[in-house]
Structure 1
Amino acid sequence: MACVDRYNMPLSTDSDTAAQHYRTGVDLLLSLWTGVAQTLDEAIAADPDFAMAYAARARFHAVRTEIDEAKAKIAKATQLVQINGTARERSHIQVLSHVINGEPAKALANALQHLDQWPLDILIMSLPLGAFGLFAFSGRADHDKARVELCERHARHFPENDWWFLTYRGWAHGENGDVALGRALTERSLELRRHNVNAVHALAHVLHEAGANDEAGDVIRDWLPGYDRSGTLHNHIAWHGALIALERGDLETALGLYAEHIAPEVATGLPINVISDTSSFLWRLQAYGHAVPAGMWQSAARYASKHFQQPGFAFADFHMALLAAATGDQRSLEQRAGILAELVSEGTLKAGPVVPALCHAVMAFADGRFRDCARILEPVAHEVVRIGGSGAQREIVQDTLLVSLMRAGESQKARALLDQRLHRRPSVRDSRWLTALTQG
């Protein structure tokens, strides 16, 4: 069993070709670059009994929300690893099986135990990390801190210039408030492997947290043309660019990026990204006082109607609520909020009561009941972190609260909130709003 992965951990295959395709495929998977499926399929073809290749392929099916295919591949991996796998491989596949079969709590607990024994198993290390990882969607209020602690606990095991670990260690620190360290690490990761969408994604988030939006815009403008439109995060990286343009008041560029890369008619990404990107961009556009071009809300809502109809996934619930509120679908929004409240009462919605509260708040905002919206959001604003995602994605809630306070005539509260935001990071829009409030 001379075949090994990138970190010299044994792989249960006698095929050098299969091992090479596996190593390349995992790197493509963890950088979300194109060619993942083909490369891992080649690993399986080279050794049809290679359990780890089936497991990695299952993981990519899951990333692409191809759930039936993911379950079939992980079942095959589970069967094969019992015949010829190592203890590390059996544990690896068990963790992935929990993820794919909808057992996130077990997956997180098992992943952390696994990493205590095999910290260089990067496919497992990747699962708790990132804005959509097991920590982010755990319902915990401290998931940003938890990611930093996980990275720092195992940092000594990784080579200094490991492009993958630099990406996620930097992103974790940036989201948790250390933007200087986060920027240094994510910039280095992108230097080491330019064909790494997760690195440019992480850097965009860190630059957002640093208030360096113009620099983030330059990075995205330079990098995005080299990333094929079929790439998993192509439309989401463009979303970052559109928000940057919107921040500086460049409506033409923002809408151009939306139409070319983000709108449901052209987006190639995952449903969760398409729904969250379209709904949050259009909501910001409207909240900032711009007219949403005719048909855009309806197009986004039609796309979303095919997904996430069952409440209980807090991050998706919030963005589905934005769409329902903006299109006047009060009935479906009230139904979603009611079911979410029941899940809270049962103790099965880990993100807690903030989720149904958000549903009621966005409906109040869409109805022009700004004082009601602020009244709902003020006491739960500190709990919004529980829905997961990134700081940049969740900022829309605070934007909604801020605009509600301004439109409700609560100038003193609005100024206090703007002071807090500007103290945390520079913002062209917040500066304009604060000036307007001060002069008004």
Structure 2
Amino acid sequence: MTQDDICACPVTLTSATAVTAWNGVVLGLLSHGRETPVHLGRLMEEAPEFAMGHAARGLFCLMTGRAEVLPSAHEALAAARASTAHTPVTLRESAWITALDLWLSGKPTAAIAAIETSLRALPHDTVSAKLSHGIRFILGDATGMRASVERILSAHAPDHPCMGYLLGCHAFALEETGDYALAERTGRRGLDYAKNDAWGLHAVAHVYDMTARTDDGIALINGNSAAWEGSNNFRYHVWWHKALLHIERAEFDVALGLYDAQIRADKTDDYRDISNATSLLMRLELEGMDVGPRWEELADFSENRVEDGCLVFADLHYLLALTGANRGAARDAMTARFARDAARKGEMFTRVEAPGMAALSGLNAFAEGRYDAAFADLAAARSLMQTIGGSHAQRDVFERMTIDAGLRAGRYDATAAILRDRLGRRGGHHDRFSATRFERLNTARGIAAQ
């Protein structure tokens, strides 16, 4: 027996209570709601044999990018498979189980393909689209994110209950592929449908970051509290965006205040929270600000993550904390682990080999004041940095460090080329960083000429 969920897709649930709980999981995943685990717990109490629920638990574990959750993800896969032995599953439910199996096997791209197979049959399945979107984001596949959403847009009419969330995904994919004007319109339209869509709000905030429209970005976040008030730790990322906008206005004290009051209000060790914190502190230090002892608590968490090796994106942000607090032994241990992982076979290990090894070497050199070596390594990693995942705005901290290393090392021509390329990727919009660095470059060139 099946019933339809909020996406009008069949689920092998027999009670209305279970369907309600599953719909809570769906809406929670789409909105980054903090109650999502509560809904999942209720679902599994009501329907302990629901294979898709077990698969969802396993997939959610993998999205945290934490090595210690891998046993739980394997347990979830085993439970999902056991459930299918005596309960028939739908194509969509089978796709989620297959995706979990493939991702656990080190094949996230194949996991995406399994989800997309289901989406071709059920293009109105917003939650599967969000899952595909999320894994692609981890892999840095902006083009794939956009293509995936655009294949199913026509199946989401204005009366689809999840229309706004899909528009939020589309807005983010548009922004990451450089279509800033359409991304802004799409994201704002999505918020009209789903006012609690933190992802859609943050997509528009990305537009304002990339186009240096600070006042618009701050007003957006202040005026759409419904999109982040009920959010899980993703709300810290929204506040991170607000801090970036204040840095753009040279309001460094305001940004640091947001760090203390919001971004690190809860001292979590989630890699996404650590990346918010470390990248913000590094940006402030690049602007000459003393951030005091704040690196220390981040380094304490990051030391425990040296052997994780789940995501290069996470590792490089852990390294920022370790260098910021001068944890030499932990830095050496991470360098050794990167070397081991780079020699291994697999989709994620390829990213450790390149750009991971060069990026790690460059960050270590930057911390040690060896700016010529830092620039050489970071510039070498640059062409593949998108493959470590995250967004343009998140990876921009490494871009800024590359440029500042080049300026400090006297690599003026090469640094100018990177500055021009960065400007081009932003649609020609000069932000404060590019303006000040071009000014420093011209000053340095003038002094060198004398």
Is this a same-fold pair by TM over 0.5?
yes
What's the offset of the Cα at 1:7? Answer: 3.0
Q: 2:53 & 2:337 partners in 1: Cα distance?
A: 40
Contact 2:61 2:72 in 1 (8 A): yes
What's the offset of the Cα at 1:436? Answer: 4.0
| 1:122-201 aligned within 5 A | 122-129=126-133, 133-138=134-139, 143-160=141-158, 162-201=163-202
For 1:266, the aligned partner's letter is: D
Aligned: 1:104 with 2:112: no
SS of alignment partner, residue 86 of structure 2 = helix
Q: 2:42 & 2:95 partners in 1: Cα distance?
A: 24
What's the offset of the Cα at 1:100? Answer: 5.9
Q: 1:46 & 1:248 partners in 2: Cα distance?
A: 51
Q: Deviations over 1:305-359 (max 9, x none)?
A: 2335233521122112222222223343233233323433444412132211111
Q: Which residue of 2 aligns with 1:119?
A: 123
Aligned: 1:241 with 2:242: yes
SS of alignment partner, residue 291 of structure 1 = coil
> Which 5+ residue runs of structure 1 have no aligned equivalent?
none
Contact 1:422 1:431 in 2 (8 A): no
| 1:14-33 aligned within 5 A | 14-33=14-33
Q: Which residue of 1 aligns with 2:251?
A: 250
Out of 77-86 and 164-173, give the one that drifted further: 77-86
Q: 1:221 & 1:43 partners in 2: Cα distance?
A: 34
Q: Which residue of 2 aligns with 1:10?
A: 10
Q: 2:399 & 2:37 partners in 1: Cα distance?
A: 39
Out of 149-158 and 171-180, give the one that drifted further: 149-158
Contact 1:279 1:323 in 2 (8 A): yes
Contact 1:120 1:157 in 2 (8 A): yes
Distance 1:339 1:43, change over 3 A: closer
What's the offset of the Cα at 1:254? Answer: 0.5
Q: 1:229 & 1:123 partners in 2: Cα distance?
A: 19
1:94 aligned residue (98, 102, 106): 98
Contact 2:221 2:242 in 1 (8 A): yes
| 1:394-413 aligned within 5 A | 394-413=395-414
Out of 48-57 and 386-395, give the one that drifted further: 48-57
Q: Percent identity?
A: 25
Contact 1:365 1:373 in 2 (8 A): yes
What is the TM-score of this pair, normalised by structure 1? 0.88
Contact 1:183 1:203 in 2 (8 A): yes
For 1:320, the aligned partner's letter is: Y
Aligned: 1:43 with 2:47: no
What's the offset of the Cα at 1:170? Answer: 1.5
SS of alignment partner, residue 192 of structure 2 = helix
Aligned: 1:307 with 2:305: yes
What's the offset of the Cα at 1:187? Answer: 1.3
| 1:307-326 aligned within 5 A | 307-311=305-309, 313-326=311-324
What's the offset of the Cα at 1:207? Answer: 2.6
What's the offset of the Cα at 1:85? Answer: 3.0
What's the offset of the Cα at 1:395? Answer: 0.8
What's the offset of the Cα at 1:171? Answer: 0.8
What's the offset of the Cα at 1:60? Answer: 4.3
What's the offset of the Cα at 1:412? Answer: 3.8
Q: Which residue of 2 aligns with 1:80?
A: 83
| 1:248-397 aligned within 5 A | 248-263=249-264, 266-267=266-267, 271-293=270-292, 295-311=293-309, 313-348=311-346, 349-351=349-351, 352-397=353-398
SS of alignment partner, residue 134 of structure 1 = helix
Q: Deviations over 1:294-313 (max 9, x none)?
A: x2111110122233523352
| 1:203-222 aligned within 5 A | 203-222=204-223
For 1:396, the aligned partner's letter is: V
Q: 1:380 & 1:59 partners in 2: Cα distance?
A: 30
What's the offset of the Cα at 1:378? Answer: 2.2
Contact 1:30 1:164 in 2 (8 A): yes
What's the offset of the Cα at 1:43? Answer: 3.2
User: How many residue pairs get matched?
Assistant: 431
What's the offset of the Cα at 1:233? Answer: 0.9
For 2:326, the aligned partner's letter is: G
Out of 54-63 and 271-280, give the one that drifted further: 54-63
Instruction: Give me the CA root mean square deviation.
Output: 2.7
Distance 1:336 1:247, change over 3 A: same
What's the offset of the Cα at 1:30? Answer: 1.5
Contact 2:95 2:117 in 1 (8 A): no
> Which 5+ residue runs of structure 2 have no aligned equivalent?
445-450
Q: 1:100 & 1:416 partners in 2: Cα distance?
A: 40
SS of alignment partner, residue 10 of structure 2 = coil
Out of 237-246 and 55-64, give the one that drifted further: 55-64
SS of alignment partner, residue 308 of structure 2 = coil
SS of alignment partner, residue 211 of structure 1 = coil
Contact 1:174 1:205 in 2 (8 A): yes
